Amino acid sequence: MTRQLVAGLAAGALIGAAAMYVGTRPATKSPTTTATTPSTSQAAPGPGSAAVAASFAPPLAAKAPADAFGDAVRLGERLITDTATVAPAYVGNGLVCSNCHLDAGRQAGAAPLWAAFVNFPAFRKKNGEINSFQKRVQDCFLYSLNGKPPPLGSRELLAIESYAAYMARGLPSGMSPPGRGFPAIAAPSIPADDRRGAAVFSEKCASCHGPDGAGMTIPGDRSYPPLWGARSFNWGAGMATIDKAAAFIHANMPLGQAGSLSVQQAWDVATFIDGRVRPQDPRFTGSAQATRQQHHDSPFSRYGTIVDGELLGNAATTPAAGGQTGKLRHGPPPRAGGA
């Protein structure tokens, strides 16, 4: 069985290598407290992609073939939904991949894996390199999971790649199908504000994520991820940038009530969440100001800025990158409407 699984994982890698990138996503800007232009966190669809993918439904992992490749696909799904259990050596916080890639990476408008897969290899501005799909997943472990990236070619990365490749079957490579990334979000009518964001969080989010943003585990239900603090994503994660967080929140939260928040509420609560203390950026240079200049020179990052009298990213008060300190808080079941 082990030999068959390895063979299946290798098959997934070959499928991944076949997906070729023919274009890059244009850089866009969106508002925080000072900017005024709208944002999009979804790449523009390529020519003809709408006709191909408008009704695209990725296949279920449970229907993958009963062979080594199918075993790899099902392992990949488990890694997305139960990351720390399946790959504990590589996770350093209280999140799993499906906290951002909803419905096990299947849901359109919530960074679905199938839509991303067909656009790799690709140049990525974040690291200035051509990235394979596996390299892109490594960065999720490093930043969003505040952990250690599995090695390229590892059992874990090959399984996730196999799962994404299986779901993407039928899509043309090199196009950004509808549903990739997060839907575009318009500019707020007034600049985003921490006080309004705190009120939105208290009303719409705290019942699941906890009043202190530390996340909660509801016995018999599920775990809700920490949004800031030592057990959250670190400063290098995409969700630590306000425009991406606002787009995700507006399209997908509160859980079960997607689209119920106004554009203004999404920007306000994203600004509030991304103005809290969280683990250090793994690219930290020894100075918050220098790290901001090199990696966070954007109106959508609050790293290296002062919020409520505290310098975000200050080494003295910022949890270490890759840490495994702290625990999820336990509490009563959430009230209806919690994010």
Per-residue pLDDT of the chain (339 residues; tens, 9 = 90+): 444 544 445 444 444 433 333 333 333 333 344 333 444 444 444 333 333 345 689 999 999 999 999 999 999 999 999 999 999 999 999 999 999 999 999 999 999 999 999 999 999 999 999 999 999 999 999 999 999 999 999 999 999 999 999 999 999 999 999 999 999 999 999 999 999 999 999 999 999 999 999 999 877 777 899 999 999 999 999 999 999 999 999 999 999 999 999 999 999 999 999 999 999 999 999 999 999 999 999 999 999 999 999 999 999 999 999 864 434 433 343 333 344
Round to whole Å and give the CA distance between 9 and 207.
40
CA distance 171 to 178: 11
Q: What is the pTM of this model?
A: 0.82
Q: How far apart, in whole angstroms, are the C-alpha atoms of residue 296 and residue 294?
A: 6
pLDDT digits (tens, 9 = 90+) for 211-249: 999 999 877 777 899 999 999 999 999 999 999 999 999
**pLDDT score at 56:** 87
> Quick check: bond before 121 cis, omega within 30?
yes
- How far is the C-alpha of 251 from the C-alpha of 109, rounded, in Å? 7
Helix, strand, or coil here: 84? helix
Distance, CA of 103 to CA of 297 (rounded, Å):
33
Question: Helix, strand, or coil here: 242?
Answer: helix
